[in-house]
A and B are shown apart, each in its own frame.
Chain A
Amino acid sequence: MMIPDWPILSLIVFSPLAGAAVLLAMPKQRARLLRITAIIATLLPLALTLWLYADFDANRVGDSFEEYAAWVNIPLDQAGLGGGAASYGLHLDYRLGIDGLSLPLVLLATVITAMAALASVTIRKRWKAYYIWLLVLECGMLGVFLARDLFLFFIFFEITLIPMLFLIGIWGLFNREKAATRFLIYNGLGSAVMLIVFAIVVMTAGFSIGDTQGGGAVFSYSGSYETILANLSDPQAVVNQVAAGNVNPFYLSNGMETALFVLLLIAFGIKLPIFPFHSWMLSVHREAPAPVVMIHSGILLKMGAYGLIRFGFFLFPEQAERFAPTLAVLGLINLLYGAVIAYRQQELRSMLAYSSLSHMGIVLLGLASLHVIGMQGAVFQLVSHGLISALLFLLIGSFYERTGTSRIDELGGLAKAAPFMAGALLAGGLASLGLPGLSGFVGELLALLGLFDTHKVIVSIALLGIILTAAYVLRAIMGITFGELPAKYGSMKDARFIEALPIVVLLAFVLLLGIYPSFLTELMKHGFDPLLHHINMRVGG
């Protein structure tokens, strides 16, 4: 069915906020009502996204469904220009768009948030505030993946921080407040770096001289992603002119571009996370409530990789190319470092945190390939890891609720007491270690396949990772589900319907992507064209 002439992207982004508004008006004791409303509010963007998926034209290069509204328009003092301009100003606009890179992540975000809302039955206090923050968080995340203006992106990126601060700090475990503060400060630093880069980019690559409109030329600074991308890749644009004699204030030298790329790598590397910026993430994994970790590990980390691709790689392809070997090495370090430490964890949450670090290494390896297979593999791995880690944390939350612990050495034999949940945990673990037929394998395969062409040694070492991953995953999963069941857990109940539902949905997606990867790869067909065109052109020419 065709989508009518609606602002569908804005609807997707802001429908959770509408839900939050409804929740605001509800009495805070009515847990059941609040919960149902919140779940419906997360199903809304999910339904809209699926509709959009059905109607998405993967053959189109660039954004589909663009939405635009003038937003901030600051007129600047024309004195500096020496007159002659029809207008001179800074434009920060409300721009949304969706392409083959955004859609898989929007899909991931809406699915996981809806599942996290279902899984939030384990939340035992202050439901109203909890669900409101959850919905605000979803709005921020969706905005991040859809924004096409640098400052709009920045704002959405920041919007995700505040709800997370409260969700960890209020509903977390024992050291929640410390974890929350740590999360905020570390991520705030990353955001600060990002803001500096964005400001420089807007002030240089964002500058363009428009057509004359009656009186004179239109000079403007713009935060529009499209404008900036076009300017940076156009050799005739102001940003690329080394003016002889007098200085061109808009010129971005090669060294400057490299500096910007490195800063972006740090800003988004904190989020991704890239070794050695990962330590903040561990405490979030350990302290936040399970549904929040589902979102954190499932979606928020992916914003780092998305930002790195969208802004680091697409805006500065030459730097991306130059840094590809570095990224490959960083990816390898992530992969092996995380796997080695994960093997020694007794706390399941820590194990999964290091496992995330390890799996994000695969993403970096795929990106470093700068080959269409590897890039698609990286994004595939993002989606796949999001689903798998959401599933695993959901299950850990459910087990924690029943046993009061998520330590491997305190659990065991749970397959006897809760065969359904234990089976799902095993399936999730197998997906995580890259079993063919489940989604994890496809991401790994494509990423490594893409990288192999240019970095054979690194890929050969990375294959060690598939052995080490099997070792730590099986150690943990079998540690809690196999063996003798401790007597105190004898009366444990298996999953309730409301828990089983998200488990089944997440597993179904993991299986679907594993068996029919084209579900995602078809979408991404042209997602990397801007980058790869540039690289191929340079190689060809």
Chain B
Amino acid sequence: MAYSQAAWLIPVFPLAAFLVLTALGRSFRRSAPIIASIGTLGSLALSVLVMVEGVEYRDRINWIKIGDLSLSIGFDVNHLTSLMLVIVSIVSFLVCMYSAGYMRDDERLTVFYGYVSLFVFAMMGLVLADNMLMLYLFWELVGVCSFLLVGFWYHKPEAKAAAKKAFIVTRIGDAGLLLAVLLLFWYMPNHALDFVGIQNVFQGQSGAVDAQITTLIALLVFMGAIGKSGQFPLHVWLPDAMEGPTPISALIHAATMVAAGVFLIARTFVLFEASAVAMDTVAYIGAFTALFAASIALVQHDVKRILAYSTISQLGYMMMALGVGSLTGAIFHLMTHAFFKALLFLGAGSIIHATKTQDIRELGGLGGRMRLTALLFGVGALALSGIPPFAGFWSKDTILAAALDSNPALFAAGLLGALLTALYMARLFFRVFAGKPSAISEAAHESPAVMTIPMLALAVLALGAGFVETPWYDGLSQWLLGDEAPAHAADGYTVPIIGAAVALLGLYIGWLAYVKRTIRLSAALDAMPSARRLLENGYGLDALYTHLIVKPYRLLGSCVQLFDRYVVDGLVQLAAFGVSALGRGTARLQNGQVQTYGLAAVIGLLVLIVVLAGRRLWS
């Protein structure tokens, strides 16, 4: 109990690191990585202790109290949150260490580590939050840290645009999430917003909340997740976010923050279970995103953009898992993905660090120059492709099995996605590491140990983390669901064998296409350059949004501004002009000539007489 009671300290360590770094300022460059690493290491240590302890503990205090209504903040330690804490703190710590090498020459190193520490604080707060409102607070905070870090190289126009886009696009989802919070506040008994309360109200189908409202709330929560976790149609910010430093892509845009949407749905899973419509929506959007993004990843040339689309696709898998009711599958894949995708990004960082390019057309044959990076990147690629016994295989298998149980169409989509995944990873790996070294590759050297050691640690996890849940062992689902864990299918071989076969097929095709060059996959696309461009541009969604939303909004702004200037202010000017014209007119009457005054007096008298006489006659 002792450690769980102190779980609130987990976010406090990185917060303290952030404060210290901010107070110290730029002159303390050398100690910045150490301070930030100590902060995340503190979190890691305590998170592990809390998880090992494995108890549930909750505590909260009032944040705002108005009348008899109160909004509180608190923390909630349970099996799901403690597992998330460990995942987040492992990746955070390793990325802190890695960045000491990758970002060594950046003059704003202190600022970088400050932002990273702030992010880790916010992410831990998000995980530990015991209620929806507090989760929303930290949800926004991780968003702003992502914004700051994407735009870290603020002088680059691309980074500036990407940061702005990331913030605004995710905010569209956030607006939905906030609306869900408002709805919950007014529809829940006693205005409860805490997850335990939500669990109690929705679990028993008590009917305390109307079914339609439940569906609405669930869909709005999902809207938040769509924004944060890069699901179609709000995924467009994530590939652009690759403008940020590569360690950030690993930490925020692969392993932790983008998975927050999945975590959010897992946290409010009862809401979704209470609404079939919401579950189906999540499943189909997830499956669609998985395929859609994988197809784009096939034709990208930028290492990081390939990985970004891959992340979108894998998040789609997690959503699909949630949609078919497999909480375990989603969280399992979240965990393994965090490890192997962070590994892949750090590997990509190692490549970029050595070659100063991230275009795979300029690379090739790097395997001989950077053996360790190639080996570790290969482990990540195999894990992502779902090759046994790497971690990604087991988690993907859990999802596929669950999909087969509930909906064969989704199972088929999952298999197709797995094929595409193996294919684009084969393309990426072989184009970068195999073949004859290019001019750039010739000059490359292996990255320093401070960068390769974190990769090594992640590779171990990408290899081993899958064994917590296999068709024959249900450790993770027991941990997450306890006695409610669904029993595994009697036949534990069919799905894994199909899954492994599909992944191997993908790799084999990739090998034929990019190493042996016996088949040309791109022949069809080469014949249609416009189709290729469309695919390279992510089906042209960015252009579509520009023409459909951004430009019309600008036009609207200009129109409203004209309205404001010429109608609203115009009326004011007109009134002012009228008054002053009246003043000028009457001033002219006072011209000092007695005759004029006399004339006015006579006219006035006449008018009076006429009026009085008229009134008599009238009545």
Contact = CB atoms under 8 A, between A and B. Distances in A.
Interface stretch (B78-86, B155-163, B362-370): B155-163
Given A337-B560, A343-B554, A485-B155, A517 B64 contact: yes
A485 B179 CA distance: 40
B129 to A, nearest CB: 11
Contacts of B136: 436
Interface string B562-576: 001000110110001
A341 interface: yes
Interface stretch (B167-175, B477-485, B512-520, B602-610): B167-175
A483 B560 contact: no
A483 B154 contact: yes
A442 interface: yes
A446 B560 contact: no
Nearest to B176: A463
Given A436-B136, A452-B182, A415 B557 contact: no
Interface in B306-362: none
Interface stretch (A243-251, A300-308, A401-409, A474-482): A474-482
A521 B66 contact: yes
Contacts of B69: 373
A278 B569 CA distance: 9
A368 interface: no
Given A478-B160, A483-B157, A463 B141 contact: no
Interface string A163-176: 00000000000000
A101 to B, nearest CB: 14
Contacts of B48: none
A275 B560 CA distance: 13
Residue of A185, A442, A460, A464 with most partner-chain B CB within 10 A: A460
A387 B554 CA distance: 29
Contacts of B155: 413, 416, 482-485
A463 B223 CA distance: 14
Given A435-B144, A437-B141, A470-B171, A341 B164 contact: no
Interface string A471-495: 1001100100111110000000000
Contacts of B175: 463-464, 466-467
B472 interface: no
Interface in A314-366: 337, 340-341, 343-344
Given A337-B560, A442-B64, A485-B155, A449 B137 contact: no
B615 interface: no
B444 interface: no
Given A372-B66, A521-B65, A185 B140 contact: no
B67 interface: yes
B564 A279 contact: yes
Contacts of B560: 337, 340-341, 344
A474 B160 CA distance: 10
A276 interface: yes
A459 interface: yes
A179 interface: no
Given A463-B175, A474-B168, A449 B185 contact: yes
Interface string A436-469: 1100011000101100110000011001101100
Contacts of B569: 279
B172 A340 contact: no
A73 interface: no
Interface residues of B, number: 46
A483 B160 contact: yes
A478 B171 contact: no
A446 to B, nearest CB: 7
Contacts of A517: 63-64
Contact of B186 (A415, A452, A460, A467): A452
Interface in A395-435: 413, 415-416, 430, 435
B557 A344 contact: yes
B561 A344 contact: yes
Interface string B121-160: 0000000000000001110110010000001001101011
B178 interface: yes
A122 to B, nearest CB: 26
A42 interface: no
Contacts of B167: 470, 474
A463 B183 CA distance: 13
Nearest to B108: A419
Given A416-B155, A478-B151, A521-B64, A436 B137 contact: yes
B168 A415 contact: no
In terms of DSSP, what is the predominant structure of the interface of chain B?
helix
Nearest to A460: B179
A279 B568 CA distance: 7
B508 interface: no
B68 to A, nearest CB: 10
B109 to A, nearest CB: 14
Contacts of A485: 155
B497 interface: no
Contacts of B168: 467, 470-471, 474
A340 B183 CA distance: 27
B568 A344 contact: no
Contacts of A279: 564, 568-569, 572
Interface string A370-404: 00110010000000000000000000000000000
A118 B556 CA distance: 40
A278 B563 CA distance: 13
Nearest to B173: A467
Interface string B165-209: 001100110110011001101100000000000000000000000
Contacts of A437: 137, 141
Contacts of A474: 164, 167-168
A482 B151 contact: yes
A343 B163 CA distance: 17
A482 B69 CA distance: 42
A139 B554 CA distance: 43
A518 interface: yes
B27 interface: no
B323 to A, nearest CB: 25
A518 B182 contact: no
A540 to B, nearest CB: 15
Contacts of A343: 553-554, 557
B546 interface: no
A225 B172 CA distance: 46
A379 to B, nearest CB: 12
A453 to B, nearest CB: 6
Contacts of B596: none
Contacts of A481: 154
A467 B172 contact: yes
Contact of A436 (B141, B164, B571): B141
A341 B154 contact: no
A372 B67 contact: yes
A351 to B, nearest CB: 11
B257 to A, nearest CB: 15
Given A373-B66, A437-B137, A466-B175, A482 B160 contact: yes
A276 B568 contact: yes
A341 B564 contact: yes
Contacts of A452: 182-183, 185-186
Which 8 pairs of residues, A with B, have the shortest CB-CB distance? A344-B557, A436-B137, A279-B569, A482-B160, A482-B154, A463-B175, A452-B182, A436-B140
Interface of A: 185-186, 275-276, 278-280, 337, 340-341, 343-344, 372-373, 376, 413, 415-416, 430, 435-437, 441-442, 446, 448-449, 452-453, 459-460, 463-464, 466-467, 470-471, 474-475, 478, 481-485, 517-518, 521-522, 525
Given A344-B561, A478-B151, 11 more contacts: A186-B572, A279-B569, A344-B560, A436-B137, A441-B137, A463-B179, A467-B175, A474-B167, A478-B163, A518-B62, A525-B66
19 contacts: A279-B569, A279-B572, A344-B554, A372-B67, A373-B67, A376-B66, A413-B155, A435-B140, A435-B144, A436-B136, A449-B182, A452-B186, A463-B175, A463-B178, A467-B168, A475-B164, A482-B154, A482-B159, A483-B160
